[in-house]
A and B are shown apart, each in its own frame.
Chain A
Amino acid sequence: MQRAIAANSEQITRLDARLGTMTGFLTPTIFFRMTLPAQQQAFREGLRAGMPSWFGVAAWGLVVGVAMIKTGLTLWQSLGMTLLVFAGSAQLAALPLIAAGAPVWVIFATALVVNLRFVIFSALLAPHFSGLPWRTRAWLGFLTGDVTVAIFMQRFPDLTPDARKLPYLKGLIYPNWSSWQVGSILGILLGSQIPTSWGLDFAGTLAILCITLPLLMNHATLFGAVVAAIVALLAAHMPYKLGLLLAVIVGMSASMLLASWKESRLKDKS
């Protein structure tokens, strides 16, 4: 994600001229009406800031699309899942559980836990938009994923009201959603043409691996994840996949214990 942001500034200047004409055409007709030039400009600025991440988002959608259809979901189920859910890591985490026939509520609980990071992100972002009607807020929240939050917070670090914030956010989230869906649908269609014996659903497992690894970059989280993995293995034969939830609770507690232990040691030293 950081690399994508770093790449932004380089590409912005290069793409500026080309985009100027493109978005000038797109903005009023397809996306929404904006009368004030400052807001229109903010929308285009959002588009440009998000642009370097479009390809990555689409490719990531493609992997999830392939994984869904190769897990055994039908074409319509896969399309329904991508168009309605729009949460890659929760979808990917749900797939092995669907394949294993886990109870529906366990899949729901797992998706909630995997999505918990969005709670933190939305707590950061939502105060910028507290003045808007509730429907708009619910909608914006639903469309706002990881990449968007990072780019937005970099552009508007302060909570001061600014009329450009909303169009800027829309410039980020609309193309992000579209890239995801294009990639995902392409993945579903491609995946349906490829024999199951190729084991392409493994791409989904690798994708979860790639989301998990960057999360493990501090000791407490790494420790908790290792504990959770061990508990999940030991409890693999518990009924209803309950071992998974047990693993999350034990792992989380392990993380917090290690963190508070390290904190108290720091205090002792100082």
Chain B
Amino acid sequence: MSAWEIWLVIALLVLATVISRSTFWLVGDRIKLPAKVQEALRYAPACALAAVIVPDLLSVNGQLQWDWHNPKLFAGIAATVFFLIKKDMLLTIFFGMVIFTCFRLWL
């Protein structure tokens, strides 16, 4: 991606944040979200994050790689288990990086 495109992305990310955070503060008294829409809004972020992260964990240099030679996959699974037990974000990131680095160096 060229430099100007990255700055364009940054500008659009600002816009996305302003739209999602400030819209209700500005026009909230004039909109009432239907229950169905509220429900859809609740599910969307989890779907988007899963759709970004799973292909990322499963690919190495842009190619899908399912096996144990993919350090991201193994460290991702280990970190998931760790997070479900410990429920601590920073410890999980640290733990995941340690596993990832061990795999990267020794396998």
Residues in B whose Cβ lies below 8 Å from that of A206: 75-76, 79, 92-93, 96-97
The reply to whether A127 and B104 contact each other, CB–CB distance below 8 Å, is no
User: Is A236 in the interface zone, CB < 8 Å from B?
Assistant: yes
The reply to whether B96 and A202 contact each other, CB–CB distance below 8 Å, is yes
User: Is A192 in the interface zone, CB < 8 Å from B?
Assistant: no
Interface residue total, chain A, C-beta cutoff 8 A: 90
Q: How far is the CB of A87 from chain B (nearest CB, A)?
A: 4
User: Is A85 in the interface zone, CB < 8 Å from B?
Assistant: yes
Say yes or no: A256-B15 contact (C-beta < 8 A), given A126-B25, A202-B75. no
Q: Name A204-249 residues within 8 Å CB distance of B.
A: 205-213, 215-216, 220-221, 224-229, 231-233, 236, 243-244, 247-248
Is chain B's binding surface mostly helix, strand, loop or mixed? helix
User: Is A259 in the interface zone, CB < 8 Å from B?
Assistant: yes
Query: CB-nearest residue of chain A relative to B93?
Result: A206
Q: Name B52-73 residues within 8 Å CB distance of A.
A: 52-59, 62, 64, 71-72
List 6 A-B pairs, Cβ < 8 Å: A91-B13, A209-B79, A210-B92, A221-B42, A225-B49, A236-B55
Interface residues of B (CB under 8 A from A): 1, 3, 5-26, 28-29, 33, 36, 38-59, 62, 64, 71-72, 75-76, 79-80, 83-84, 87, 89-90, 92-93, 96-97, 100-101, 104
